[in-house]
Structure 1
Amino acid sequence: MDYDTFIDQVARRARTSGERAVELTRATLETLAERLTGGEVLDLAAQLPKPLRLVLRPSPGTEAADRFGAAEFVARVSLRAGLDESAARYAVQAVFTTLREAISGGEFDDVVTQLPRDYREIVEPALAPGTALRRA
């Protein structure tokens, strides 16, 4: 999936503008990069368009993931994107669903495996049948 398609799908799912979808995507991916191991961040970045790869940089010299739960994930996205937490949760779901479509199923599974059970609420919409965006 190319960059413009990724952003367009996030915008449609989050019901927002393309410019805002860029901010939401960046905030979500930056937070995800903090939560994953460095190796997994690199594996994920390799499957994304170049502008998104630049967002997914592991912390220098850090292979370990920063351990935090789903509520903290949403709070960090909320802070980065300037949203209330309810809107941030919705945005995170939109990005995860688009991410699932943009990368191989095996890589998405690898990402999800690194997240604890409390992430189910924000990840499961991406796993549900029929989440593919219908083209207008």
Structure 2
Amino acid sequence: MNYDTFVDQVAQRTSTSSARAVELTGATLETLAERLTGGEALDLAVQLPEPLRLSLRPTPGTEAAHRFGAAEFVARVALRADVSEPAARNVVRAVFTTIREAVTGGEFDELVVQLPRDYRDLVEPAMAPGATLRRR
């Protein structure tokens, strides 16, 4: 999936502009980079379009996964994206669904395995049949 398609899918799923979708995606990916090990973040990054890879680049502070639950994940995305927590929850679901569509080889499943059970509400919509956005 190319960058424009990724952003378009997130924009459609969040009912926002492409520019805002870029911000929302960045907030989600930066938070995801904190939650994943550096190696898993890099594995995911190589399958995403180039501009999105920067948000997942591990730093010395993010090489080890930070242990925080789904509520904290949503709160961090809300703070970064300047949205309410209910809106951030929808953003995270939209970005996870788009990631699932963009990556191959079971990479999304490997990502999900690193997340605790309380993330189920955020990732299951991405895994559900029919989660793929139908193009008009």
Tell me the TM-score normalised to structure 2 length.
Answer: 0.97
Determine whether 1:113 maps to 2:123.
no
* % same residue: 75
Cα offsets for 1:34-83 (capped at 9, x unmatched): 00000001100010111001111112265320000000000000000000
Cα offsets for 1:12-31 (capped at 9, x unmatched): 01111111100100000000
Amino acid at match of 1:51: P
How large is the Cα RMSD of the aligned pairs?
1.0
Q: How far, CA to CA, are the matches of 2:28 and 2:62 in structure 1?
A: 19
Amino acid at match of 2:69: G
Q: How far, CA to CA, are the matches of 1:133 and 1:105 in structure 2?
A: 20
Give the aligned partner of residue 53 of structure 1. 53
Q: CA deviation at 1:104?
A: 1.1
Amino acid at match of 1:24: L
Determine whether 1:11 maps to 2:11.
yes
Unaligned runs of 5+ in 1: none
Q: How far, CA to CA, are the matches of 2:90 and 2:124 in structure 1?
A: 12
Unaligned runs of 5+ in 2: none
Give the aligned partner of residue 24 of structure 2. 24
Contact 2:33 2:62 (C-alpha < 8 Å) held by counterparts: no
SS, match of residue 100 in structure 2:
helix
Q: How far, CA to CA, are the matches of 2:58 and 2:21 in structure 1?
A: 22
Give the aligned partner of residue 42 of structure 1. 42
How many residue pairs match? The answer is 136
> In structure 2, do the counterparts of structure 1 residues 39 and 131 end up closer, same or farther at CA, with 3 Å as the change threshold?
same
Amino acid at match of 2:90: Y
Q: How far, CA to CA, are the matches of 2:23 and 2:70 in structure 1?
A: 19
Determine whether 1:72 maps to 2:72.
yes
Tell me the TM-score normalised to structure 1 length.
Answer: 0.97
